[in-house]
Amino acid sequence: MTNRKIPDGMRIEGPLEPRFDEILSHEALAFLAKLHRRFEPRRRELLAARVSRQQRIDAGELPDFLPEAHAIRESDWRIAPLPAALERRRVEITGPVERKMMINALNSGADSYMADFEDSSTPSWRNQVQGQINLKDAVRRVITFESGTKNYHLNQAVATLQIRPRGWHLDERHVTIDGQRVSAALFDFALAFFHNAHEQLARGAGPYFYLPKLENHREARLWNEVFLAAQAALGVPSGTIKATVLIETVLAAFEMDEILYELREHSAGLNAGRWDYIFSAIKKFSRRRDFCLADRGQVTMEAPFMRAYALELVRACHRRGAPAIGGMSALIPIKNDPAANERALAGVRHDKARDARDGFDGSWVAHPGLVPLALDEFVKVLGTRPHQRERVPEGRCATADLLDFRPERPITEAGLRNDINVTIHYIGSWLAGTGCVPIHNLMEDAATAEIARSQVWQWVHSPKGVLDDGRKVDASLVRALVPEELRRVESVIEATGAPTGTYMQAARIFERLSLEPDFTEFLTLPLYEALPEEAAT
């Protein structure tokens, strides 16, 4: 982009494709630059604090409820009233900001659609900016998509739109301001808010967001300050933005009341982001010799630490008049196998029925075909009510409940192979530009892939990483299995007619991340740097 189109001090390395200039206008970029210059120093402080906290955990410190926040946890306060558009969220569908996906999700019959710039999207320059174009068109109800002879367009009634920007830990490598990369979170938020907030309000909804990967209330406070500054800059009334925080880190689970409190003017509740939560537990305690989780398939919402986390989230939300939204079952409909499909649907029914009984006000699905099924389970409990926020689970969760990391067994060769296979398959697809992939009849995104690759690292490095047949999971075993699972992945990809070029690279990346002595905090950090540069079209 030429200097005359961008603010002073800003540099954009990505190509300018058709309609990109609508999103990357001088005014929008100036708004982004204003937010960056004000809040980037604080973001970097908070990321440095994450490193310090991890070092203390590695040295033996365990998380606990904050004694200095006792008054916030025990006093009576409630979040600000919710807009009508967010009162009913029994079923929310999630998915990447691809054009066809957005249309199908908005038309799905779900109460809400979370347009995802994060875990289900490969954050290439093209994907991120085109996603903003798609978002802009969807808000104005002019989004269409043609595939062969079929034309996709929005129905008369559509789901309420919510937007998930990327997390605080990620940068947008294609944009620098004063020589610094901008925060990916601010890049996604700023462009979405600048182009759509007033239009959303004019259409009876508003700028609604999902906030990922927060680790504590100070990170929530930063978002609240960003919201106040953004609303003031664009003349949007304070408190108009509403945001749901994903509780998907084990540290945030100890600060749910405080997170709601920091965002109380802008809060739309909390969501139980289960897959990232499991990954967070493995990541945070990966250096502890007494910590080890069983095969991924054994770590369900019935596991003690997951059960405690879910009920505490409902309790924290409903005490404050806030929505509590359940997480995602990875199961999806299965074509051409009625018996397997019925087992998958039964699993989803069980998952959503448990969420509804536990007091959640709604839950997530990843496929339009699952919306009626999930809705039915919530209607059984809610009837005609839009939510059940009047239900507050009794008792309080203890620290030990949230740290009751079971099951530890079994760890099996089949589980190890599955982790290797899924991670190679997912990384290969991610590098090819697809961040949400059906693998072995489960919908895998960055969060589920993170569990798979972090488990392998932890089993290699933990004395408890022993298979049920007595073999230790070690570097030699992993190296022996990687080529075998790569061949299986490539055979699946070849059967679809898709190119297999990125999967050998994916296997190399997986092996390095699994065996290196230091744990890589997020899979997407090295993958982002491995994405090829994009040429203008």
Q: Give the Cα separation of 160 and 190 in Å (integer).
A: 20
pLDDT digits (tens, 9 = 90+) for 165-179: 999 999 999 999 999
In whole numbers, what is the pLDDT of the chain averaged over residues? 96
Report whether the peptide linkage leading into residue 7 is cis, meaning its omega lies within 30 degrees of zero: no
Confidence class for position 499, pLDDT limits 50, 70, 90:
confident
Q: Enter the pTM of the model.
A: 0.97
> Which ranges of 235-337 would DSSP assign to H, the alpha helix?
256-262, 274-284, 304-319
Where along the chain do its domains lie?
A: 10-400, 409-529
pLDDT given for residue 3 in this prediction: 42
Confidence class for position 504, pLDDT limits 50, 70, 90:
very high
Question: Which residue in the list 164, 166, 320, 453 is annotated as catalytic?
Answer: 164
pLDDT given for residue 537 in this prediction: 41
Q: Please confirm, yes or no, whether 140 is among the known catalytic residues.
A: no
Q: Which of 121, 122, 125, 123 is nearest to 14 (CA)?
A: 125
Helix axes 184-202, 125-139, angle to 10 degrees: 10
- Name 501's Cβ contacts closer than 8 Å, sequence gap at least 6: 432
Q: Give the Cα separation of 309 and 294 in Å (integer).
A: 18
pLDDT at 11 over 60: yes
Q: Give the Cα separation of 212 and 17 in Å (integer).
A: 29
Q: Give the Cα separation of 482 and 510 in Å (integer).
A: 9
Average of per-residue pLDDT across 467-488: 98
pLDDT digits (tens, 9 = 90+) for 206-257: 999 999 999 999 999 999 999 999 999 999 999 999 999 999 999 999 999 9
Asked if the domains 10-400 and 409-529 are classified in one and the same CATH topology, the answer is: no
For 385, other C-beta atoms within 10 Å of its C-beta total 14
pLDDT given for residue 280 in this prediction: 98
Helix axes 338-358, 371-382, angle to 10 degrees: 30
pLDDT given for residue 535 in this prediction: 59
Q: At the fourth CATH level, which superfamily is domain 10-400? A: Malate synthase, domain 3 (3.20.20.360)
DSSP string, 333-383: --TT-HHHHHHHHHHHHHHHHHHHHHT-SEEEESSGGGHHHHHHHHHHHHT
Contact 327, 363 (CB under 8 A): yes
pLDDT at 469 over 60: yes
Average of per-residue pLDDT across 306-316: 97
Q: Give the Cα separation of 305 and 324 in Å (integer).
A: 18
∠218-221-225 over CA atoms, to 5°? 145
pLDDT given for residue 173 in this prediction: 96
What is the phi/psi pair of residue 427, to 5°?
-60, -45
pLDDT at 1 over 60: no
Percent of the chain with pLDDT over 70: 99
pLDDT at 533 over 90: no
Please, what sign has the CA dihedral across residues 486, 488, 490, 493?
A: negative
The region, left, alpha or beta by phi > 0 then psi within -120 to 50, assigned to residue 229 is: alpha
Biggest CA–CA distance in the chain, Å, is: 66
Burial code (b: 16+ CB inside 10 Å, e: under 16) for 451-478 equals bbbbbbbbbbbbebbebeeeeebeeebb
pLDDT at 2 over 50: no
Average of per-residue pLDDT across 320-344: 95
Average of per-residue pLDDT across 358-369: 97
What is the phi/psi pair of residue 218, to 5°?
-70, -35
Q: Please confirm, yes or no, whether 64 is among the known catalytic residues.
A: no
pLDDT at 304 over 80: yes
Average of per-residue pLDDT across 3-17: 87
Q: Give the Cα separation of 253 and 280 in Å (integer).
A: 11
Confidence class for position 409, pLDDT limits 50, 70, 90:
very high
Whole-Å CA distances, 92 to 134, 271, 345, 382, 523: 19, 11, 17, 16, 26
The region, left, alpha or beta by phi > 0 then psi within -120 to 50, assigned to residue 235 is: left
**Which CATH architecture is the domain 409-529 placed in?**
Up-down Bundle (1.20)
Q: Give the Cα separation of 365 and 199 in Å (integer).
A: 27
Whole-Å CA distances, 471 to 457, 459, 460: 16, 11, 11
DSSP 309: H
pLDDT digits (tens, 9 = 90+) for 71-108: 999 999 999 999 999 999 999 999 999 999 999 999 99
> Which ranges of 436-474 would DSSP assign to H, the alpha helix?
446-461
pLDDT at 433 over 90: yes
pLDDT digits (tens, 9 = 90+) for 445-463: 999 999 999 999 999 999 9
pLDDT at 193 over 70: yes
pLDDT digits (tens, 9 = 90+) for 19-64: 999 999 999 999 999 999 999 999 999 999 999 999 999 999 999 9
Question: Which residue in the list 119, 389, 445, 453 is annotated as catalytic?
Answer: 445
Average of per-residue pLDDT across 149-175: 96
